[in-house]
Structure 1
Amino acid sequence: MRINILQHTSNEGPGAIIDWANERGHEVYTYHPDQFGTLPKVAETDLLVILGGPMSPNDDFPWIFEERQLILALMDLDKPIFGACFGAQQITKALGYPVSKSPEKEVGWAPVTLQSHIIPNVPDELFALHWHEEMFEIPAGADLLFSTEGLKNQGFVMNHRVIGLQFHFEPLANNVREMVVNDFSYIEGSVLGQTAEDILEQPVPRENRRVMFALLDYICQ
């Protein structure tokens, strides 16, 4: 399987997604559309992973619109797609749903609660990394997958092929450190009330990597 990853900023990498790809024997190609303007071809994509970034789906960059066309083309072919944060917002925006400011900015560690048992072996509550201040709407026909106390729409699954998460299961410890040391100023104003030191001192839950594997296995069945 060829996995095409869209990485939108240098400090938000694929983390455990690479571990999953290596253990499953898949090839990974990473694209940086914001830097080079290059996107993968539909015919060369078996799984599309769309990572986070500091931009908004509402921004007026040509590559953002082109990325959404890629998403729709892959959906038409029933290809699996996983989106995290900006990536999840891009999926919903491609389907015609608005992306807007969240009631509260969430940056740091906070629990997420499972809302659907459609995917096996996912615990009812997990501790995830949040790094966002925008939110998506759940597309028609999709199942609400995760929520938090402050924001209902934290994750969805659609047609056994598409998963979008507003938060992050993919970061490993090195990824968290990279996010914090480079983007520490973004932490200010978060409702979670955590400092950069608080975020760094929190160990990445081992369960997150296992659940990341379970989500990818589910959409690639």
Structure 2
Amino acid sequence: MSLLIVKNITREGPGILENILKENNIDFHVVDLDAGDNLPEPDNYSAVIVFGGPDSANDKTIKIEQELAMIKKAIDLNIPYLGICLGMQTLAKSQGAVVRKNEVREIGFKAEDGEYYSVNIEGEYTNDPLFYRLGNPLKIFHLHGETIDLTDKIELMATGKYCKNQIIKVSSNAYGIQGHFELTPEMFNVWLDNDPELMELDRNMLLQDFDELALEYRNNGHTLFSNFLKIAGLL
């Protein structure tokens, strides 16, 4: 069986993850909901990864309702799951959590105070297999205005300064990450050309931030996605 990758908007795809999959000849199937692709049943796959997009997990659209149902089924079947940004919020929503507006929008690599966004892995979670061979804290890219409230089904693995609930875990093998570790330079330029929130910011400054973090960011993304693929038994 292969890995199911779900894109909520065409431009937000696997990036660094796709490079790992191709290097290791791992079979994967990409579904682009933005392009009208149908969402398959999760039990036909070894693992599921859902990426971000401009939708809200609170939207009453067929697209989001079907996505929530698919994620809930995957978790109920104990299929390894990784959600990025919206994919993290839909994971939480599928488990009964509240998704709401965050106190501040987190956009780019740096907050308004000039500090890089980062996540701090909490306590015993530093030993979780998702974080194997990763440092602490981890710098991260953000593009979101909503957050989640925790429930007794959701463990908080990593926190942030401006949005507390950053990385979560459900059951033994389902994870959600509020920010992005998948960006490649090519993908980032597409986002800068098309994302309305990024277009409000200084493009040159964003590119400079990305360039300064490039090696650290790429290594962390490669390690994190590789760790998840090992959890899923695909690597």
Whether TM exceeds 0.5 here: the answer is: yes
1:51 aligns with 2:51: yes
5 Å matches for 1:1-221? Answer: 1-36=1-36, 38-109=38-109, 110-115=117-122, 116-117=125-126, 118-119=128-129, 120-183=132-195, 185-187=196-198, 195-201=202-208, 202-203=210-211, 204=214, 205-221=217-233
User: What is the CA-CA distance between 1:197 and the residue it aligns to?
Assistant: 1.8
Amino acid across the alignment from 2:47: L
Secondary structure at 1:46 match in 2: strand
Structure 1 residues 188 and 134, CA gap change in structure 2 (3 angstroms):
farther
C-alpha deviation, 1:107, in angstroms: 0.4
| Contact 2:119/2:158 (<8 A) preserved | yes
Long gaps (5+) in structure 1: none
Instruction: Give 1:188 shift.
Output: 7.1
Query: What letter is aligned with 2:104?
Result: E
Q: 1:218: Cα distance to partner?
A: 4.9
Q: Cα distance 1:142–1:93, how it changes in 2: closer, same or farther (>3 A)?
A: closer
* Per-residue deviation, residues 65-123 of structure 1 (Å, max 9, x unmatched): 11111111111211011100000000110111111000000101122222221232221
Residues 81 and 219, structure 1, Cα contact 8 Å, conserved in 2: no
**Matched residues in 2 for 1:15 and 1:111: separation?**
20
Q: Which runs of 5+ in 2 are unaligned?
A: 110-116
Q: Partners of 2:5 and 2:41 in 1: how far apart?
A: 12
Superposition deviation, residue 52 in structure 1: 0.2
**Could you list the per-position Cα deviations for residues 35-57 of structure 1 after superposition, in whole angstroms to 9, with x for gaps in the alignment?**
31510123322111100001111
- Give the counterpart letter for 2:220 in structure 1: N
1:131 maps to a residue whose letter is L
Cα distance between partner residues in 1 of 2:199 and 2:183: 21
Work out whether residues 43 and 79 of structure 2, in 8 Å CA contact, stay in contact via their aligned partners in 1. no
Q: Is the 8 A contact 2:42 2:48 kept in 1?
A: no
Calculate the TM-score normalised by the size of structure 2.
Answer: 0.84
SS at match of 1:199: helix
User: Distance in 2 between the 1:22 and 1:134 partners?
Assistant: 33
- The 1:180–1:188 alpha-carbon spacing in structure 2 relative to 1, beyond 3 Å, is closer
Q: Residues 21 and 188 from structure 1, CA distance in 2 versus in 1: closer, same or farther, beyond 3 angstroms?
A: closer
Q: Where has structure 1 moved over 3 Å in runs of 4 or more?
A: none
RMSD of Structure 2 on Structure 1 (CA): 1.9
> What whole-Å deviation, never above 9, does each CA across 1:189-209 have from its counterpart, x for those lacking one?
8xxxx6222112222323222
Letter in 1 for 2:85: C
